[in-house]
Structure 1
Amino acid sequence: MKIEIWSDFVCPFCYIGKRRLEQAVNALPEHAEVEWEYKSFELDPDAETQTKPNMHEKLAKKYNKTLEQAKEMTSHMEEEAKQSGLTFRFDQVIPANTFDAHRVAKFAEEQGKNDEVTEKFMQAVLTDGKNIGDAETIYELAVEAGLDSDAVAQVLRSEDYTEAVRNEEREAYQLGVQGVPFFVINRKYAISGAQPKETFDQALEQVWQEENSTPSFTSLNGATGSTCTEEGCDE
């Protein structure tokens, strides 16, 4: 089973969806083989990296809300995160451009560390209040996740993996993705948004059953046909 996940590191529902997916995968039979791949999606490609927490102000402006209404919005998300075992601190979140972080994540994928880096980046933004648009912060988090320090520094100094990020974003638009998280299972099923864990449970169970069930056939015989077996052939 292969699961492709389009997400952004500053997206709270991407982190919630990630955790619910992991819980659903853990509920599958022990011998179930599941591969997942995180793909790039920037919610705001033109975002300017800020230097201090002001997520509430940004949300109020974006959705034409008062500051108090914006805080109420985030309090609901914090409660939903808590139900999935996560801690969100929106009063500490620093709005940032995530393009360089996505480039480093593509390098991490080549090193077999994309899951670790994705977890590290999301936690840094939504729980720890770190600036994911800052090159030094990205560097420190990537090294903590197990990537080679010199290699990470080289990626950040260059434009490496720019095309990889852009290709995945183009692919998302071609698939009709309008928001994240967006999950594609075996290129056959899609789940949009941080659905309840039960939805992930049902989807993965269905796919697993399809992959492990004995094929059944619909007979097209018009009459009994002659056959041969180990014991001989029909007369």
Structure 2
Amino acid sequence: MKVEVWSDYVCPFCYIGKRELERSIKDSGYEGQIEVELKSFLLDPTTPVDTNRSVYASLSQKFNISEEQAKEMTKNVSERAKEVGLDYNFDIMKEANTTAAHRLAKWAETKGKGSDLSERLLQSYFLEGGAIGKPDVLLGLIEEVGLNLAEAREVLESNQYSDEVENDIEKAQSLGVRGVPFFVIDNKYGISGAQPKAIFDQAISKAAEEAGLKPKLKMVGENGIICTDGQCDI
């Protein structure tokens, strides 16, 4: 069974939604039988690559409000993030152009490290204030997840994987996706936004049943005394 996830690395609800999905898969009994495929989505591709503007200043301009009002806007988001174990730090976040990050993630997928890099990008941006639109920061994260720096630099300095990113965006448009996160479960069920875990539980359970998947046993309690091959622990 496949779950496709459209998201952007500067979308606070995308990281929350990712955690809710992960928790749901882990508790579902179908872990190991579900493939999660990450899809690119660019919330604002016009953001300058070399920007140092704070998230508060960015929100202030976008919604025509004061920076103090922007701070108030983020408080509920931070509280929601804490519910899934994420400690957002909006005070140190800066706006970022994520085009290069998405291209690198596509390249990382070909090396079996796509999910590792995507997690590290989200962690860097939301928890550490990482400027993930800048090449030096991106290369630092590449090194941390064990990918080849020279190859990554070649991707950054070219337009490699731009088509793959654009294909994801075009598919999202064809599905009518207007915002992220957006989840498509086995091409049957769509979930828009960082919904509560119960919504993911319901959709995964229904799709798995229709796909004929068998849940793994959920072990209860600690290992007890057993007999094996004619021998018993006494």
Q: Is the 8 A contact 2:17 2:195 kept in 1?
A: yes
**1:101 matched to 2:90:** no
Aligned twin of 2:24: 24
> Could you tell me how far apart the structure 2 residues matched to 1:20 and 1:31 are?
14
Task: Kindly provide the amino acid, as one letter, of the partner of residue 99 in structure 1.
Answer: T
Return the offset for 1:49. 3.3
CA contact (8 A) 2:8 2:42 kept: yes
Is the Cα–Cα contact under 8 Å of residues 50 and 94 in structure 1 kept in the other structure? no
For residue 183 of structure 2, give the secondary structure of its aligned residue in structure 1: strand
Alignment match, 1:10: 10
Secondary structure class of the residue paired with 2:211:
helix
* Gap change, CA 1:63 and 1:31, over 3 Å in 2: closer
Judged with a 3 Å threshold, the aligned counterparts in structure 2 of structure 1 residues 195 and 30 are, in CA distance, closer, same or farther, namely closer
The equivalent residue for 2:117 is 117
Equivalent residues, number: 214
Compute the displacement of 1:32 (Å).
Answer: 5.3
Matches within 5 A, 1:1-235: 1-29=1-29, 33-52=33-52, 54-212=54-212
**Gapped regions of structure 1 (runs ≥ 5):** 215-235
- With the length of structure 2 as denominator, give the TM-score of the two structures: 0.87
Percent identity between the aligned chains? 45
Please identify, of 49-58 and 163-172, the stretch whose mean Cα deviation from structure 2 is larger.
49-58
Separation of aligned partners in 1, 2:106 and 2:24: 25
Once superposed, which parts of structure 1, at least 4 consecutive aligned residues long, lie more than 3 Å away? 49-53
Bigger mean CA offset, 137-146 vs 19-28: 137-146
Contact 2:30–2:213 (Cα < 8 Å) also in 1 = no
TM-score (norm: length of structure 1):
0.87
8 Å CA contact 2:124, 2:130 repeated in 1: yes
Give the SS at the match of 1:184: strand
Q: Is the 8 A contact 1:2 1:36 kept in 2?
A: yes
Deviates more, 1:161-170 or 1:3-12: 161-170
Post-superposition Cα deviations, 1:139-171, rounded to whole Å, max 9, x if no partner, equal 110221221222111111211111111111111
Displacement of 1:177 in angstroms is: 0.6
Structure 2: gaps of 5 or more residues: 215-234
Q: Is contact 1:53–1:92 with CA below 8 Å preserved after alignment?
A: no
What is the alpha-carbon distance in structure 2 between the residues aligned to residue 213 and residue 135 of structure 1? 43
- What is the CA-CA distance between 1:201 and the residue it aligns to? 1.1
Larger Rg: 1
Q: Tell me if structure 2 keeps the 8 A contact 1:53–1:91.
A: no
Residue 70 and residue 189 in structure 1: after superposition, are their counterparts in 2 closer, same or farther (change >3 A)? same
Output the amino acid matched with 1:112.
G
Deviations 1:67-93 (A, max 9, x none): 222111111101100111001111111
